[in-house]
Structure 1
Amino acid sequence: MADQLHIDWTACRGRGVCSELIPELLDLDEWGYPLPRAGLDVPRELAPHARRAVAQCPRLALSLQTVATS
């Protein structure tokens, strides 16, 4: 099992809080919307930071989803 970061594009308003909290996973485009750096899999060592970004997203546009790994 692995965690993946999910971005709800309909809820996001491009404030950039998430990229400040987990810059290892997210960049911003020119309008301030998050862009995954290399996929949305969350390494174990970054899981606490990802949970914090999810909790602090002002639009609740981020979530963590557990997916089965093969």
Structure 2
Amino acid sequence: MFCRRRGGARIADQPYRAERAAEPGIGAAHQDPAPTVESLTAALAAALSPETGARAQLLWDTVSAPSRPPA
């Protein structure tokens, strides 16, 4: 997630996509509008965990498998 300032207010880029990655457990969404070292550390730890990597690999294997025509 990227943050930027507009008119003095902080807004987040792509929170929808972050949530889409977090729902199946293949990423992490940073919920805090004002990131701290602790909140970013927790989000990165979740995104980079072996469990998240395993779920992402399983999803990749599923979506990248050749499809077969219906029998």
Question: So what's the TM-score if we normalise by structure 1?
Answer: 0.31
Query: Which structure has more strand as a fraction of its residues?
Result: 1
Q: Which has the higher helix share?
A: 2
Relative contact order, higher structure (CA 8 A, sep 6+)? 1
The structure that has the greater radius of gyration is 2
What TM-score comes out, normalization by structure 2 length?
0.31
